[in-house]
């Protein structure tokens, strides 16, 4: 083991004594010395010597103006030229031992309090206020150096410090004795009571159990003037070097050197500030008493200190690399140096997150493998740390059952809930289950009562004994008056809310759930079973009666005489039943009571509707009885139509137009974007081709944006518009009335042919293309239903009229792919989306 002690003051005294002995032997005169003393100290005048204090006891200084040496003895400078040879020998020998007594005789001395020759305390190179009355020698300084334990052979230095904590120049060198980090520095002598201990080397990582890959240096500042060190020579004084002594070092130095604290007060405050930074209430007097592998209170007299030290050490290490550990330590020291506060909240929080996840047994297992069994209770302090950083506070019997969230927004576990409960043998915060945090502080409920959780949206029900999760209600909600009739699916089963309770829904109930009233006779595929169809009849949805109703819907009174195709056959609606249509009915439609007496042309033969049957009538008689609705004789010659264009000044879109008879129509569907207008399937490409689909309110301009004639007309509203109604049409154009649509039908050939001649020559399914004889160019744009779904593109075209029937229904013109005729019906819901063709004013 290497040991080196350097004490230039003591050596100087011994050398002086030897010189005096030689002078006596040679008959020389010590008073005539012309060289400085052997300790190398030389000053110009006695004033420059400074004050003789206890710390300088034994110092010799050569004064040039006096050409002699002075000795500091008993707080007095003694002129050695006036001391007898025997006294010099005795004095020098005594000084070398540090036990110099007062010289006798009439020696000439410079008193420390002499005003004439006193030496100011600000003499260059000397301590301004050295410690009083403290000279120690042959002390053995023992301890342990631990981050984890430093490795055997790691170099160790002890530096003596002056009161202002600047080095005095005395240094002792030694090394670590074993892999447990213990050391002994023997025969240490002090002229000052303060020392800095420094160790550098590899250390064992308590978390991983492995040796570090990079060396670390730790410091400890100690004060040997403490009463525990005031014993006889050859005593053993214990000073440990640990992470706490290192973290406090710069802060204590700052308090002494910049704020005038005593070393004792500075160390105590610095250590306490570090404890506070780590959320510990541990009282600290001497941080160098702590050892991480020593049970609290054993040897050091500390309470909880060793456990907190190991906890701090673990927090600093975490999952970090050696370089990261060093960086955290360095940044912490710099952070607390001037104000004692740790301001790096993110690092502090990261440590808490690590501690929350850490398996505490890891450290005990690692240390046990080193044959070290004496480990303090550090686990409690890791808990205290992350509990406080999360804002949870302490967990004790009085808080048992308390549920609280992690309120630290910097934490990756922010807003996680914890519950205070007995975990093993102690009270601890543990992650709260969903039911614990949701039902915290709930009283008993009524059997079957439902309640939403405090924190989550989970629904709980009281089973008569306790609250438990209501899985179905959590998923589909609680059944009550507000959602009566609602249908929802849970675990593959459909339920319907009836009488404030969920019951199993029928196929009809869940397949038609959410459907609004349809037009009489309309048909829709089921919500769930798309191969099942339902028809609307007498104000309610019912299951379809078969393939014909699947395709055509229900035959209801309002559809009497309507013809439709199902499969490869045509059917006519008669007396609420779909009946196979005759050739005449296929082309002319059914003969109904409303059409009684109507005459129409089929082939080259005229037929009259009598008693719900089409009957041949002679041309002579037919001309007298021709119905105004059967006006093929009044049809406009297609060659006379006038084509043109118009520009919508609102958006610059250009539309084709066509004049048929006395009416000028847009030959394209309107594509002006406004509220409650839509592109088929919400695709802009369909708007470019088919124009937009408008609700009746949008078509009528119920907001009054473009005119007042249709203002206030919309769904669930009965209105009396002033005609013509411009609606959403460009200026100079309007939304056609029911009568204006009939006028168009008459102009293009009447009831049996209008559909065929108005439809465009392509784009219609089921061979339903038209002749477009009048360049009206109707395209099968389909429609939009109130639930946001789209259908019938390619099959049908729907056009609004400005004629309303009641608060919910309005007239619209309808073209169907496999019909030659056109339909003008009033049973159309205003919230549906249809195309708009504008008519010039």
pLDDT, tens digit (0-9, with 9 covering 90-100), for 654-687: 999 999 999 999 999 999 999 999 999 999 999 9
The answer to whether residue 585 is domain-embedded is no
Q: Which of 316, 290, 289 is nearest to 205 (CA)?
A: 316
The answer to whether residue 93 is domain-embedded is yes
> Using CA atoms, how far apart are residues 108 and 271, in angstroms rounded to an integer?
49
Coil, strand or helix at 574? strand
The answer to whether residue 722 is domain-embedded is yes
Tokens read off for 128: 């301004």
If one counts the domains in the chain, the total is: 5
Banded pLDDT at 48 (limits 50, 70, 90): confident
With a cut of 60, say whether residue 617 has pLDDT above it: yes
The answer to whether residue 547 is domain-embedded is no
The answer to whether residue 121 is domain-embedded is no
Q: Mean pLDDT lowest for which of 77-91, 439-453, 486-500?
A: 77-91
Q: Specify the pLDDT at position 224.
A: 82
- Please state whether 453 falls in left (phi above 0), alpha (psi between -120 and 50) or beta: beta
> Using CA atoms, how far apart are residues 144 and 502, in angstroms rounded to an integer?
72
Residue ending a domain, among 60, 76, 111, is: 111
Element (H, E) at 101: none
Tokens read off for 671: 């594509």
> Using CA atoms, how far apart are residues 432 and 409, in angstroms rounded to an integer?
18
Q: Which residues pair with residue 141 across a beta bridge?
A: 185, 237
Provide the H-helix boundaries in 80-204. Answer: 85-96
Pair (333, 418) in one structural domain? no
> Using CA atoms, how far apart are residues 87 and 481, in angstroms rounded to an integer?
115
Element (H, E) at 797: strand 796-804
Pair (93, 211) in one structural domain? no
Q: Which residue has the higher pLDDT, 243 or 10?
A: 243
Give the DSSP per-residue string, 623-666.
HHH--TT--GGGPPPGGG-EEEEEE-TTT--EEEEEEETTEEEE
According to DSSP, residue 283 is labeled -
Cβ neighbour number for residue 591 with a 10 Å cutoff: 25
With a cut of 60, say whether residue 644 has pLDDT above it: yes
Coil, strand or helix at 602? strand
Pair (151, 46) in one structural domain? no
Banded pLDDT at 99 (limits 50, 70, 90): very low
Domain that holds residue 817: 638-840
With a cut of 80, say whether residue 147 has pLDDT above it: yes
Q: Can you tell me the mean pLDDT for 447-476?
A: 92
Q: Specify the pLDDT at position 304.
A: 63
The answer to whether residue 295 is domain-embedded is yes
Pair (795, 652) in one structural domain? yes
Coil, strand or helix at 613? strand
Average of per-residue pLDDT values in the chain = 82
The answer to whether residue 122 is domain-embedded is no
Pair (237, 334) in one structural domain? yes
Q: Are the beta carbons of 635 and 748 closer than 8 angstroms?
A: yes
383-431 pLDDT, tens digit per residue, is: 999 999 999 999 998 999 999 999 999 999 999 999 999 877 789 999 9
159-171 pLDDT, tens digit per residue, is: 999 988 999 888 9
Tokens read off for 160: 């003596």
With a cut of 90, say whether residue 823 has pLDDT above it: no
Residue 636 CB contacts under 8 Å (≥ 6 apart), including other chains: 660, 661, 747, 748, 774
588-613 pLDDT, tens digit per residue, is: 778 888 778 877 767 667 788 888 88
Pair (321, 228) in one structural domain? yes
Range of 23-27, 65-69, 140-144, 284-288 with top mean pLDDT: 140-144
According to DSSP, residue 804 is labeled E
Banded pLDDT at 219 (limits 50, 70, 90): very high
Pair (301, 406) in one structural domain? no
Pair (682, 816) in one structural domain? yes
> Using CA atoms, how far apart are residues 39 and 107, in angstroms rounded to an integer?
22
522-539 pLDDT, tens digit per residue, is: 888 998 998 999 999 999
With a cut of 70, say whether residue 838 has pLDDT above it: yes
2-30 pLDDT, tens digit per residue, is: 444 434 333 333 333 343 333 333 333 33
Q: Specify the pLDDT at position 821.
A: 82
Pair (148, 176) in one structural domain? yes
**pTM flag (> 0.85):** no
Q: Specify the pLDDT at position 652.
A: 96
Q: Specify the pLDDT at position 353.
A: 96
Pair (92, 180) in one structural domain? no
Banded pLDDT at 138 (limits 50, 70, 90): confident
Three-class SS string for 28-72? CCHHHCCCCCCCCCEECCHHHHCCCCHHHCCCEEEECCCCEEEEE
Residue 703 CB contacts under 8 Å (≥ 6 apart), including other chains: 675, 711
The answer to whether residue 620 is domain-embedded is no
Pair (11, 72) in one structural domain? yes
> Using CA atoms, how far apart are residues 802 and 798, in angstroms rounded to an integer?
13
Pair (242, 342) in one structural domain? yes
What is the percent of the chain where pLDDT is above 90? 50
């Amino acid at each position: 083991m290497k040991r080196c002690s350097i004490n230039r003051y003591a050596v100087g005294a011994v050398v002086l004594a030897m010189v005096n002995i030689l002078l006596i032997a040679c008959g020389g005169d010590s008073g005539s010395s012309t060289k400085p003393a052997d300790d190398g100290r030389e000053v110009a005048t006695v004033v420059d010597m400074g004050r003789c204090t206890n710390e300088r006891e034994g110092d010799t200084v050569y004064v040039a103006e006096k050409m002699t040496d002075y000795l500091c003895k008993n707080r007095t400078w003694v002129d050695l030229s006036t001391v007898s040879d025997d006294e010099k020998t005795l004095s020098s020998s005594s000084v070398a031992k540090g036990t110099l007594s007062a010289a006798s005789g009439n020696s000439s001395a410079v008193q420390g309090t002499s005003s004439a020759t006193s030496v100011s305390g600000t003499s260059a190179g000397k301590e301004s206020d050295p410690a009083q009355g403290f000279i120690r020698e042959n002390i053995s300084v023992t301890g342990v150096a631990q981050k984890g334990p430093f490795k055997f052979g790691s170099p160790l230095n002890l530096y003596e410090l002056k009161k202002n904590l600047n080095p005095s120049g005395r240094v002792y060198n030694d090394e670590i004795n074993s892999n447990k980090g213990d050391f002994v520095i023997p025969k240490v002598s002090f002229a000052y009571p303060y020392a800095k201990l420094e160790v550098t080397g590899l250390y064992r990582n308590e978390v991983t159990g492995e040796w570090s890959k990079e060396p670390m240096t730790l410091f400890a500042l100690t004060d040997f003037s403490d009463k525990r060190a005031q014993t006889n020579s050859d005593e053993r004084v214990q000073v440990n070097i640990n992470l706490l002594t290192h973290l406090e070092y710069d802060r204590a130095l700052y308090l002494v050197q910049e704020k005038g604290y005593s070393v004792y007060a500075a160390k105590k405050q610095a250590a306490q500030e570090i404890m506070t930074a780590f959320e510990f209430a541990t009282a600290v007097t001497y941080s160098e008493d702590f050892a991480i592998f020593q049970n609290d209170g054993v040897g050091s007299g500390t309470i909880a200190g060793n456990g907190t030290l190991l906890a701090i050490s673990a927090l600093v290490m975490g999952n970090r690399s050696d370089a990261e550990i060093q960086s955290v330590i360095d940044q912490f020291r710099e952070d607390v140096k001037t104000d004692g506060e740790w301001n790096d909240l993110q690092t502090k929080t990261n440590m808490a997150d690590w501690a929350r996840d850490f398996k505490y047994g890891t450290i005990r297992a690692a240390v046990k493998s080193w044959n070290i069994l004496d480990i303090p209770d550090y686990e409690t302090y890791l808990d205290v740390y992350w509990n406080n950083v999360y804002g949870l506070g302490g967990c004790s019997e009085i808080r048992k059952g308390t549920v609280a969230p992690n309120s630290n927004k910097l934490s990756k576990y922010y807003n996680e809930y914890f519950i205070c409960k007995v975990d093993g043998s102690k009270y601890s915060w543990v992650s709260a289950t969903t039911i614990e945090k949701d039902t915290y502080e709930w009283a008993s409920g009524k059997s079957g009562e439902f309640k939403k959780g405090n924190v989550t949206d989970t629904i709980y029900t009281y089973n008569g004994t306790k609250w438990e999760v209501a899985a179905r209600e959590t998923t589909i909600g609680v059944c009550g008056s507000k959602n009566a009739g609602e249908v929802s699916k849970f675990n593959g089963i459909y339920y319907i809310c009836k009488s404030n309770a969920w019951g199993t829904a029928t196929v009809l109930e869940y397949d038609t759930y959410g459907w609004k009233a349809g037009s009489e006779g309309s048909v829709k595929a089921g919500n769930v079973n798309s191969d099942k169809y339902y028809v609307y009849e007498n104000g309610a949805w019912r299951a379809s009666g078969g393939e014909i109703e699947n395709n055509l819907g229900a035959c209801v009174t309002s559809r009497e005489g309507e013809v439709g195709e199902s499969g490869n056959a045509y059917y006519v609606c008669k007396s609420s039943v779909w009946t196979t249509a005759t050739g005449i009915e296929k082309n002319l439609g059914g003969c109904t009571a409303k059409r009684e007496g109507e005459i129409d042309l089929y082939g080259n033969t005229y037929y009259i509707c009598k008693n719900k049957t089409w009957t041949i009538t002679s041309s002579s008689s037919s001309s007298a009885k021709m119905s105004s609705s059967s006006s093929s004789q009044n049809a406009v010659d297609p060659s006379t139509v006038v084509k043109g264009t118009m520009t919508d000044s609102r958006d610059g879109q250009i539309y084709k137009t066509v004049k048929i008879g006395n009416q000028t129509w847009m030959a394209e569907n309107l594509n002006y974007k406004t509220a409650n207008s839509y592109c088929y399937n919400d695709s802009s490409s369909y708007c470019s081709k088919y124009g937009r689909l408008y609700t009746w309110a949008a078509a009528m301009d119920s907001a009054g944006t473009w005119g007042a004639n249709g203002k206030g007309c919309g769904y669930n509203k009965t209105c009396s518009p002033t005609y013509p109604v411009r609606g959403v049409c460009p200026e100079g154009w309007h939304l056609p009335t029911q009568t204006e649509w009939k006028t168009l039908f008459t102009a293009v050939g009447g009831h049996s042919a209008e559909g065929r001649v108005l439809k465009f020559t392509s784009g219609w399914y089921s061979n339903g293309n038209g002749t477009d004889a009048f360049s009206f160019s109707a395209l099968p744009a389909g429609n939009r239903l109130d639930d946001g779904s789209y259908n019938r593109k390619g099959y049908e075209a729907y056009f609004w009229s400005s004629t309303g029937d009641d608060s919910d229904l309005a007239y619209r013109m309808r073209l169907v792919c496999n019909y030659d005729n056109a339909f003008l019906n009033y049973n159309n819901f205003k919230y549906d989306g249809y195309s708009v063709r504008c008519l010039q004013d």
